[in-house]
Structure 1
């Protein structure tokens, strides 16, 4: 814990609390009370004039409070020393390009705001060494000639050392990031060949998008990033703004369920813009047009229209972590010209007294159309989805944007009502919260793991992106993301949150230990789980080697008769299971192995 506290001291610039007092307070209490003391100070820091710094410190304390007792002596300086030793060349210097490539390998981007201080330090060193160096593309080549000695390297990375250490230790939610990217690339290419659907034409500005646009962006809850295709092209949120405004209303209202006095939470079973209400004379849910119009009237109603819109865009900007978010006035004007149906809904709901007291219908309709005209890119929208996946905390900044209860309710409605009239089948086939929009967007949330934005303008008959739907279906065919996939016994599906080497080594240990003990029931279980019974350890020894050497006849018989393992397989020393049985003098197993060898070598004589 004290080592983490030392990191806090490094970030003391601009803080009001005197660190001498903090030091004294920290040392004056018992170790069990220190976590509370540090948390209290960081809670105060977060309310000061430097909220970004406060959030950074809070994240460090979170790391400190969750560290195991055995790791409390972990030393920041020692880690920095070890990192330098690993990365340094024969001249005792570290290549910045190499360092950045390792960060990228784990999924971190140069532009990650959590690495801002580190990258700024690199830039300052480069400018001081080469004052005429042009700031071109900030690529690996840009830093290609920059090598740092130990002192400079440690000074550059120390402010972001917690995130850097997680990257170097591969301690992210998706540890096998490169393998995950390869699988996503395959799915992306498969979906690119899908030419079904038509671009939405009822809004003129949307009709101008090329049907060939296709982008996929992923952001995990740890801030790992992946993008492929047209991920920097801006597009309007359209209906994808609905879950965001609903979440905002729930997060800003003291009574979180107040919104459901005016809007239900049941799937409608009808078209998203149908003029109808539920049995209580309320819109069915916030994900259809009537419900979203009412929800928008509940969003900061005490403010003027310009201030409401300004507040909303600032909240959305927090969700994107400060990435691209803009307003397209041309799309807004197109929305206004084609809003007859929505105005009919609005007047119908006013007739049925659906609005909260004091709501201005015309002003609210303008506000609703503006919300639909907010623009994002695939990359920034993936951070929005990841914020929802992360319980309302933006993974790129660590800022808590929404409370967890609001996010839970939002994801529940996205799961049951988010994909227009296709919602039920999507929940059945994909089993994940999602929201689509007529601009061709799909926001997909894998709770506690990642957020994904898919964008391709051609739509199916339900108004969902054809490529987006295909991508979602193929994704859950590969990974156990479906809400009802059994994590332990899913057939042939991968869990991206598990380390491949850890999984493989555990399989080896389980099978070989079962063979060592002659535990046929355990071997039977592993076989039924689909494990490779010929799997070998680092010495090339298989379960059959171990069972033969230990004289476990029943285990040997099971492996030969039921699993059809290779009877002639050799370990690193050239020994077969038969050699092992002979060396350790197990004549019954010798005869058994010899008989199976003859059968395998001469199957026609059987």
Structure 2
């Protein structure tokens, strides 16, 4: 079919462009895209052309790699393809210049994708296992929807969604992943990370501690230094809200935080629920009590307005995301503060390290110790039913199901996280060398584990192209013995 032809050809094209570039340039750029694209377009396609509307059906080809056609990094490529389809008449064919124009700006990303060089190379196999975990968790019953905030009580306990985003921007979602819900306490690590990024660790921890409290998240209780125990409980988050953008008015603070969260989410869905905000204010007696207690103990920085800090805290808890946008936020933390789908540095490495440390020890209310023991990953839960999970250097996950257990964590979210580390070696203390009973999705299978240099041997249809003549790659430093070794690998292709 045309679609199968497209998948085969585009994989070979982008793979070949990268290989030839290794031997044709030594510049700081990975390849000379114009020359490589032209060379392989004619080498592989020669007189063969494809109908534009079929050749440019990228969606199916990208799905297996984990990339979405809506990925911001592919914006230019997708626009060029759309324009080519719109301008084509009948069976208009693609030529070399059109090909170069469409994929040239994204050749590196496409090469990584089709060479399976992303953090999770076998993405389709991985996501099929994720789906299995999702359905297992869906079978978990019981729990109650939070009802002390009226707006939260309106959600069905049967809602359940899981979305993930890797540090390379691979995406997967299953279930109710496009329904907006409020971050609630899941905003606490994001708020803290921004405070550390802006003011520094030392300044922030003058006002808030680093220890788990062992108490319910909304207790009127401080540590021995008369500071909130950590930024992941209500008292700590209220104090942190007073440290953000000091000297600014309420509107400026809110806009500042919203812009930051949108950067974290790669400009995906981030909104504000005014109804939840009003509901929080009307039913927030406990938080007002905490605020006055903090004021009595002089926990706020000099000149801070306690009521303004509470208002800002209520606003932050009322910010809406979806599982999809929330997973990108988690992936930004997993990626050292760099948003995977935009490449923007949102947070400093110091802010991310501190945030993940506190999420690991304090992020799951008074279930934090159990979660750290069994799951061993940084996470933060919220009474909306959200669980923001970070697998450092691999991916971020957002789970959401409004049915909560007795301590306020999502029943399905907890079950999913536990099953995830039971299947994959994601626990912080899984031994990667000797713990062979778990799966490592970062590994390639079969002949794909062979070093990238072995891709000298490229197959297109039934014809093999062997780059054995060093005249084809005059800048190569490989000696005769290495070339012989490459020839010996032909049987693997």
What's the TM-score once normalised by structure 2's chain length? 0.83
Match of 2:98 in 1: 152
Change (3 A) 1:473 1:89: farther
- Call closer, same or farther: CA 1:90–1:470 in 2, change over 3 Å: farther
* C-alpha deviation, 1:85, in angstroms: 6.8
1:214 aligns with 2:156: no
Partner of 1:393: 338
CA separation of 1:229 and 1:349: change in aligned 2, threshold 3 A? same
Q: CA 1:147–1:101 in structure 2 vs 1: closer, same or farther (change >3 Å)?
A: farther
1:442 pairs with 2:399: no
Aligned to 1:426: 371
Q: Does 1:459 align with 2:418?
A: no
Q: Does 1:412 align with 2:357?
A: yes
Deviates more, 1:162-171 or 1:340-349: 162-171
2:144, 2:73 → 1: CA distance? 40
Instruction: Give the deviation of 1:177 after TM superposition.
Output: 0.5
User: How far apart are the structure 2 equivalents of 1:87 and 1:68?
Assistant: 19
Q: CA deviation at 1:89?
A: 10
Which piece of structure 1 moves more, 486-495 or 381-390? Answer: 486-495
d(CA) in 2 for partners of 1:477, 1:266: 27
Q: How has the CA–CA distance of structure 1 residues 274 and 192 changed in structure 2, closer, same or farther, with 3 Å as cutoff?
A: same
Q: Determine the structure 2 residue equivalent to 1:29.
A: none
Structure 2 stretches lacking a partner, 5+ long:
1-17, 452-488
Partner deviation per Cα, 1:550-605 (whole Å, 9 max, x = no partner): xxxxxxxxxxxxxxxxxxxxxxxxxxxxxxxxxxxxxxxxxxxxxxxxxxxxxxxx
For residues 70-121 of structure 1, the C-alpha deviation after alignment (integer angstroms, 9 at most, x for no partner) is 9847442454357657986984226334443222211100100000000011
Query: Within 5 A, what are the aligned runs for 1:28-39?
Result: none
Distance in 1 separating the partners of 2:448 and 2:75: 35
**Distance change in 2, residues 1:301/1:483 (3 Å):** same
SS at match of 2:441: coil
Q: Is the 8 A contact 2:25 2:32 kept in 1?
A: no
CA 1:357–1:502: 2 relative to 1, 3 Å: farther
Q: Which runs of 5+ in 1 are unaligned?
A: 1-63, 132-144, 507-536, 541-606
**8 Å CA contact retained: 2:49, 2:93:** no
Query: Which residue number corresponds to residue 581 of structure 1?
Result: none
Does structure 1 residue 176 correspond to structure 2 residue 122? Answer: yes
In the TM superposition, 1:33-72 aligns within 5 A as 72=26
Q: Match of 1:92?
A: 49
**Residues 401 and 539 of structure 1, relative CA distance in 2, 3 Å threshold:** closer
Q: Counterparts in 2 of 1:70-109, with a 5 A limit?
A: 72=26, 74-77=31-34, 79-81=36-38, 84=41, 91-93=48-50, 95-109=54-68
2:65 matched to 1:120?
A: no
Q: Deviation of residue 435 (structure 1)?
A: 0.3
Taking only aligned residues, the RMSD between alpha carbons, in angstroms, comes to: 2.5
Correspondent of 1:320 among 265, 290, 308 = 265
Matches within 5 A, 1:144-543: 148-253=94-199, 255-501=200-446
Report if aligned partners of 1:96, 1:146 keep a CA contact under 8 Å in 2: no
| TM-score computed with the length of structure 1 as normaliser | 0.68
Distance change in 2, residues 1:257/1:307 (3 Å): same
Change (3 A) 1:160 1:375: same
| Structure 1 residues 403 and 191: alpha-carbon distance in aligned structure 2, compared to 1, 3 A threshold | same
Report if aligned partners of 2:404, 2:410 keep a CA contact under 8 Å in 1: yes
SS of corresponding position for 2:351: helix
Residues 1:110 and 2:69 aligned together: yes
Shift of 1:237: 0.3
Aligned equivalents of 1:344, 1:462: Cα separation in 2? 21
| Structure of greater relative contact order (alpha carbons < 8 Å, 6+ residues apart) | 2
Count of matched residue positions in the alignment of Structure 1 and Structure 2: 431
CA distance in 2, matches of 1:171, 1:249: 35
SS in 1 for 2:169: coil
3-state SS of paired residue (2:188):
helix
Shift of 1:448: 0.5
Aligned counterparts of 1:490 and 1:347: Cα–Cα separation in 2: 51
Summarize the Cα distance change of 1:461–1:130 in structure 2 as closer, same or farther, 3 Å threshold: farther
CA distance in 2, matches of 1:88, 1:275: 71
**Alpha-carbon distance between aligned partners in 2 of 1:72 and 1:309, rounded to the nearest angstrom:** 48
Relative to 1, partners in 2 of residues 1:188 and 1:358: Cα closer, same or farther, differing over 3 Å? same
Q: For the Cα contact (< 8 Å) 1:442–1:465, is it kept in 2?
A: yes
* Alpha-carbon offset, residue 491 of structure 1: 3.4
Cα distance change, pair 260–208 in 1 and its aligned pair in 2 (3 A):
same
Could you tell me how far apart the structure 2 residues matched to 1:371 and 1:262 are? 19
Runs of 4+ in 1 over 3 A off after TM superposition: 67-75, 81-91, 94-100, 502-506, 537-540
SS class of match (2:151): helix
Alpha-carbon distance in 2 for matches of 1:230, 1:482: 26
Contact 2:58 2:69 in 1 (8 A): no
Q: Give 1:127 shift.
A: 1.9
Q: In structure 2, how many angstroms separate the alpha carbons of the residues matched to 1:88 and 1:438? A: 57
